Amino acid sequence: MSRAFLVLAILVALSISAHGQQTGSIVGTVADPTGAIVTKARVSLTNTQTGDIRSTTSNAEGFFVFTGTVAGDYTVKVESRGFRGAEQTGIHVGPGDRRDLNVTLAVATNDATVTVVAASSIVVESGDLSSTLYENNIKKLALQGRDVTELLKTLPGFNVNTSYNGVQNKPGYDTQVTSIASAVGRGVTANGAPDRAGGADLISDGAHILDPGCNCNANQTINADMVSEVKVTTSAYGADSTTGPVVVSA
């Protein structure tokens, strides 16, 4: 029974870790024009692509949080009795991002709602060094085959390894060959990191799909028709990324 419990605990920990890899969070505070906190304000989070709505309320410190937020664009609406409603649009959350919002509610004079388009006032708290391939890039950039990871070669610091096993003067990864293997682990290097196992990690929806053994290939293709965003972290990533130094999250 102790062994079974240990295995179960490990599986739960791995699932929590994997879930954290693919999602971000939106946190914020609610205050009035004088800076005083507003408690028990109704806060709703709407995914503009799917229409999914989540709700919460600000606590005794005027603080609210939405964790486990999948990558996408969101609108946050805040309402409280005696105040005009406030709405912030165009909030983009990437894998591992944290968005910090400061919402100010004006005293109610009518039923109007103040709408604010998200801009530089929203801060990404992760502090990592990363590049992102968005859905627009994936659709419009030339792609050989259906593997999105081939587009990594368009990002700063990435290139194709021109030697194979250190002796042959030919590409280690042939872009004209389409297979189930990803470009990651088969010839694409980043900032001098090795292209084989130990240099890069490939994550799809929170699951590690790069073979950690000598094969070093992915066990599935990151298909262009099924991916909305690919974030590539090359340094200063958080403790939730257990491998690297290059972490590719799709």
* Residue finishing a domain among 80, 107, 124: 124
Highest mean pLDDT among 81-85, 141-145, 160-164: 81-85
pLDDT at 175 exceeding the cut of 60: no
Q: Are residues 96 and 143 in the same domain?
A: no
Would you state the pLDDT for residue 110?
63
Cα gap 14→239, rounded to integer Å: 14
Q: What is the CATH number of the domain that holds 85?
A: 2.60.40.1120
DSSP string, 182-214: -STTTTEEETTB-SSBTTEEEEETTEE-B--SS
Q: Are residues 134 and 183 in the same domain?
A: yes
Nearest CA to 233 out of 11, 13, 16, 24 is that of 24
- Name the domain count of the chain: 2
HSE-CB for 53 with a 13 A CA cutoff:
5
* Residue finishing a domain among 91, 124, 157: 124
Q: Are residues 26 and 57 in the same domain?
A: yes
Q: Are residues 169 and 60 in the same domain?
A: no
Q: Are residues 94 and 33 in the same domain?
A: yes
Say which residue, 247 or 64, is predicted with more confidence: 64
Q: What is the pTM of this model?
A: 0.57
Contact 137, 151 (CB under 8 A): yes
Q: Are residues 112 and 223 in the same domain?
A: no
pLDDT at 109 exceeding the cut of 80: no
User: Quick one: tokens of 225?
Assistant: 């028709």
Say which residue, 61 or 241, is predicted with more confidence: 61
Q: Are residues 141 and 102 in the same domain?
A: no
Contact 104, 86 (CB under 8 A): yes
Q: Are residues 170 and 80 in the same domain?
A: no
Alpha-carbon Rg for the chain in angstroms = 22
Q: Are residues 88 and 193 in the same domain?
A: no
7-51 per-position pLDDT tens digit: 555 555 544 444 444 678 999 999 999 999 999 999 999 999 899
pLDDT at 137 exceeding the cut of 80: yes
Q: Are residues 99 and 166 in the same domain?
A: no
Q: Are residues 78 and 178 in the same domain?
A: no
Contact 209, 218 (CB under 8 A): yes
Q: What is the CATH number of the domain that holds 147?
A: 2.170.130.10
Give the domain range for residue 28: 2-124
Cα gap 191→14, rounded to integer Å: 29
Say which residue, 93 or 159, is predicted with more confidence: 93
* Residue finishing a domain among 98, 124, 150: 124
53-80 per-position pLDDT tens digit: 999 999 999 999 999 898 889 999 999 9
Cα gap 190→246, rounded to integer Å: 7
Say which residue, 189 or 100, is predicted with more confidence: 100
Query: Euclidean distance between the first and final Cα of the chain, in Å?
Result: 37
Q: Are residues 164 and 211 in the same domain?
A: yes
